[in-house]
Amino acid sequence: MKIIKNFLVKGKHNKPIVTDVFYKEEHQPKKIVVFCHGYKGFKDWGAWNLMAEAFANAGFFFIKFNFSHNGGTLEHPIDFPDLEAFGNNNYSKELDDLGSIIDWISSEEKFKNEVDANDISIIGHSRGGGIVLLKTNEDPRVKKVITLAGVCDFEKRTATVGDLEEWKQKGVKYVLNGRTKQNMPHFYQFYEDFIQNKKRLDVKKATENLKIPHLIIHGDKDTSVLINEAENLKKWHPKSQFEIIENANHVFNVSHPWQEKTVSKELAKVTQLCIDFLK
């Protein structure tokens, strides 16, 4: 298996997108799968590398990346040394980053014998689930979409976070990262960007407009994104396939760091469901 890690793809927002690819080098065009991490997430979190290997072994060309403003850097793609970037992140930038990755793989000469640029699917975990639904709605190159513990609404996560007036006055509010113990800043631009781009960021509308196959996967023990969000997605796109993973939490019972050689049985089930759906 060929694994190329931590190379840079140019984005639209003056910060590079740190990217990995996993594939079997066979000089045969493969279906492309692009994976998007969630809030306070990163491409190397937990067992995502093992999941990437499973997709590559199943014959896919698998891409995962850090959103340009997720707070990681090329030197430190796993932690959050760049809190300034994190504070300046927003949904629009994440949508544009995903677009940049799709543009890049659609025209990248280096992999042209390994990929079928006409067969691109995207997977998003948590907040990334909302991002992939929005991108699918605006980019006809996406042929299938999967949401893992995906969110169904960005507005309630944006407009009601703390006191808007205080946020505006101070220009910043902080969220504690339980793992790194950092106070992660959210600059007020996050709210302003949401209001300016409200139509583009309407997950409900995007889901109702879906014309392609959609797989919804959610754990029944998820306390971070409740399962009713998955039920909403199913309601808005009745033709979607909805799979509930029993006894699975928000991250399908893996954690970070993940030292095991295999994934949890819940994440193994998730991965197999995705592979079957995409094949």
Give the pLDDT means over successive 10-residue stretches in the chain (279 positions): 98 97 97 98 98 98 98 95 98 98 97 97 98 98 98 88 84 92 96 96 98 98 98 98 98 97 98 98
**What is the torsional sign of CA 36, 42, 47, 53?**
positive
Residue 244: DSSP 8-state: E
Is the bond preceding residue 29 a cis peptide, omega within 30 degrees? no
Question: Which residues have CB under 8 Å from 9's CB, separation 6+?
Answer: 16, 17, 19, 65, 100, 101, 104
The structural domains of the chain, ordered by start, are 2-154+200-278 (3.40.50.1820)
What is the structure's pLDDT at 160? 63
User: Virtual CA dihedral for 225, 124, 265, 246, nearest 10 degrees?
Assistant: 40
Beta bridge partners of 144: 121
Give the residue among 205, 245, 9, 218 at the shortest CA–CA distance from 106: 9
Binning the chain into helix, strand and coil, the percentages to the nearest 5 are 35, 25, 40
What is the structure's pLDDT at 158? 86
Question: Which residues have CB under 8 Å from 234's CB, separation 6+?
Answer: 216, 240, 242
Give the residue among 184, 199, 246, 256 at the shortest CA–CA distance from 221: 246
> Which helix or strand (DSSP H or E) is residue 229 part of?
helix 227-236
**What is the torsional sign of CA 85, 34, 42, 205?**
positive
> Which helix or strand (DSSP H or E) is residue 96 part of?
helix 91-107
Distance, CA of 199 to CA of 207 (rounded, Å):
13
3-state secondary structure of 252: coil
